[in-house]
Structure 1
Amino acid sequence: MMKLMELIQARYNHLSKGQQKVARYLLKNPREFALHSAKEIGEQSGISETTVIRFCYAIGLSGYSELQKTVRDQIVFEKSSLTSYYSSKLELMDEPRFFEQVMGKDSQFIQETIMRINEADFHKAIDRLASAEQVYICGLRSSFPIANWLAFSLGIVRKNVQLIRRDTDDVLSMISGMTSGSVLIALSFHRYMKETLHIAEIAKSKEACIIGITDSPVAPIRDVADILLPLHSAEISTLDIAPALISFINAIVAGVTIKNKANFEKRKEDYDRINSEGFFFS
């Protein structure tokens, strides 16, 4: 049976506006669907009970009972992504040149990601990042190492790039400095952190442009993103999507470099003039 998230992604664009609202509410609040009736879901979300039931039919299920069972089996009580990651690698254990098998899978994920990226949205993101007054980057838990790398890389090619560090920064103070000339890049992957969405919502209220980098076109960050860049990974494990994600981030940094060539050249000159003898070996 096709995974519920894959099923929703495949049929999302063919759903009515009301049914799309049900889909987004489901991905944000799966436990509510596991525990409550269609009528109660409608009351909680401001969607009619009829729309909730029609949503079930629209994604190919027999009704709300089947949706509820699927949510319980596949989302609420699902094995951890780490278990999924381990299982997929266990299958390759007896293959010759194990490292080649794993890296080959990574290469396959990258190729699949390339085919699914919307080029127009990619260029919109590059334009906003090249012209922004400030760029803020937010990624929590498993997304934080990627956010850190993006902030470092982007900070080399343009100025005013800040990584939001929840453990040491006054996040509200940082967000209060955002304006309509600011851009927030929000990295959000399954299992989606509510705090990432909350930070994006506050940034949105400051009229900042929100660029969402995620693993699904119907991920919760969709609700606030001005530009959504979903990598469409069928793999739940964040570990498996990391190689494609890092490659995609490299493409973003390269795009900003080319788009803002004059500023990059100036930044490179300033960087080269710094006496670095005390920092690096010759």
Structure 2
Amino acid sequence: MNYYKRTKENFDNLTTGLKKVGEALLSNPVLFAIYPAKKVAEVLDVSETMVIRFCQAIGFNGYRELQIDVQHSLLSLNPISDDSFENLGNTFENIMNIDAQNILQVSSNVDWEIAEKIVDELVSAKEIKVVGYYHSFSYAHWFSFILNTLLDNTSLYRPETDTGIKRKGKEYCVVIFSYYRYALESIRIAEEAKTNGNTVIIITDSQLSPIVDYGDYVLLIQISRKSILEKGPVTFSILNTLLLHIAKKIGKMDFINPTNKYYIK
């Protein structure tokens, strides 16, 4: 079992301090692959002892054993190197290649079993409300539009007119996008939906996100940098996989290319 699976398996049983180390490992494994335990501790603002304790808590004998496992795992991803971007001669193309690299790295760590369960919940839901504040609003808007086209039961939460989640019961599903810095409004809606007994689906970027505790299903999209621009392509790619699986499940694969709805065919 590699470092990623060990961390995920033991995460809930870790102390708050050890969780901080685990979260850093999941989102930025390169840090652990390159630097010694002392440097990692400095970057994370924890003690070196805590970094070593974390290694032992997830089943490694020490930091060096963890580091070797991380290095081997990263090598198996065959990432595109930054040096290769410099030789492309087109900065636009460079950026797209970086996005592609991020998508490949994140896809290898997404819990696809959770994604499958989310697909099942969305397909069986009586009504779906999609929530996203600030930069997460674009994800919520796009996802709700396509999802409603498929299921005809989805709406976007509009902060300027909506006054909370009113429906009660598990058959009503609330999907919430919550990315760093984690809008308080999203957390309040998640809490309200949980109180209503709704099925709560959280899409976030950290296991330590304050909204995680309210989710029945939590899909983590972890990326080493907190850049909004880098999270966008990864998020939309994962949402695309969810929507394609939903389309297949309900027999609407023709929705992918609905030429009969447009003037130009």
Normalised to the residue count of structure 1, the TM-score between the two structures is 0.63
Question: How big is the shift at 1:17?
Answer: 4.0
For residues 67-96 of structure 1, the C-alpha deviation after alignment (integer angstroms, 9 at most, x for no partner) is xxxxxxxxxxxxxxxxxxxxxx9xx79961
Question: How big is the shift at 1:57?
Answer: 5.0
Name the residue aligned to 1:131. Answer: 124
Other structure's SS at 2:192 match: helix
Q: Give the 5 Å matches for 1:194-273.
A: 194-261=184-251, 264=252
Give 2:175's match in structure 1, choosing from 185, 204, 207. Answer: 185
Distance in 2, Cα, partners of 1:117 & 1:155: 25
Q: Decide whether aligned partners of structure 1 residues 258 and 55 sit closer, same or farther in structure 2, where only a CA change above 3 A counts.
A: farther
Name the residue aligned to 2:96. Answer: 103
Give 1:144's match in structure 2, choosing from 137, 140, 144. Answer: 137
1:118 aligns with 2:111: yes
Question: How big is the shift at 1:111?
Answer: 0.4
Other structure's SS at 2:225 match: coil
Question: How big is the shift at 1:257?
Answer: 1.1
Q: Decide whether aligned partners of structure 1 residues 16 and 148 sit closer, same or farther in structure 2, where only a CA change above 3 A counts.
A: closer
Give the aligned CA root-mean-square deviation in angstroms: 3.7
Name the residue aligned to 1:65. Answer: none
Name the residue aligned to 1:6. Answer: none
Distance in 2, Cα, partners of 1:22 & 1:165: 38
Q: Which amino acid letter does the alignment assign opposite residue 218 of structure 1?
A: L
CA contact (8 A) 2:18 2:50 kept: no
Q: Give the 5 Å matches for 1:20-35.
A: 20=16
Q: Decide whether aligned partners of structure 1 residues 272 and 158 sit closer, same or farther in structure 2, where only a CA change above 3 A counts.
A: farther
Q: Which amino acid letter does the alignment assign opposite residue 162 of structure 2?
A: D
Question: How big is the shift at 1:21?
Answer: 9.0
Q: Which amino acid letter does the alignment assign opposite residue 245 of structure 2?
A: G
Other structure's SS at 1:177 match: coil
Q: Which amino acid letter does the alignment assign opposite residue 117 of structure 1?
A: V
Unmatched 5+ stretches in structure 1: 1-9, 28-53, 62-88
Q: Which amino acid letter does the alignment assign opposite residue 190 of structure 1?
A: Y
Distance in 2, Cα, partners of 1:104 & 1:125: 29
For residues 154-180 of structure 1, the C-alpha deviation after alignment (integer angstroms, 9 at most, x for no partner) is 11111110110112x2232xx112421
Question: How big is the shift at 1:60?
Answer: 5.2
Other structure's SS at 1:186 match: strand
Q: Decide whether aligned partners of structure 1 residues 16 and 156 sit closer, same or farther in structure 2, where only a CA change above 3 A counts.
A: closer
Distance in 1, Cα, partners of 2:195 & 2:48: 34
Other structure's SS at 1:116 match: coil
Name the residue aligned to 2:67. Answer: none
CA contact (8 A) 1:151 1:163 kept: yes
Percent of pairs identical after alignment? 24
Q: Decide whether aligned partners of structure 1 residues 93 and 18 sit closer, same or farther in structure 2, where only a CA change above 3 A counts.
A: closer
Distance in 2, Cα, partners of 1:250 & 1:230: 15
Give 1:19's match in structure 2, choosing from 15, 20, 23. Answer: 15
Distance in 1, Cα, partners of 2:140 & 2:93: 27
Other structure's SS at 2:191 match: helix
Q: Which amino acid letter does the alignment assign opposite residue 233 of structure 2?
A: P
Distance in 2, Cα, partners of 1:184 & 1:115: 26
Q: Which amino acid letter does the alignment assign opposite residue 115 of structure 1?
A: S
Unmatched 5+ stretches in structure 2: 1-5, 24-45, 54-81
Distance in 1, Cα, partners of 2:176 & 2:130: 6
Distance in 2, Cα, partners of 1:253 & 1:16: 30
Q: How many residues align?
A: 208
Name the residue aligned to 1:171. Answer: 163
Q: Decide whether aligned partners of structure 1 residues 179 and 21 sit closer, same or farther in structure 2, where only a CA change above 3 A counts.
A: farther
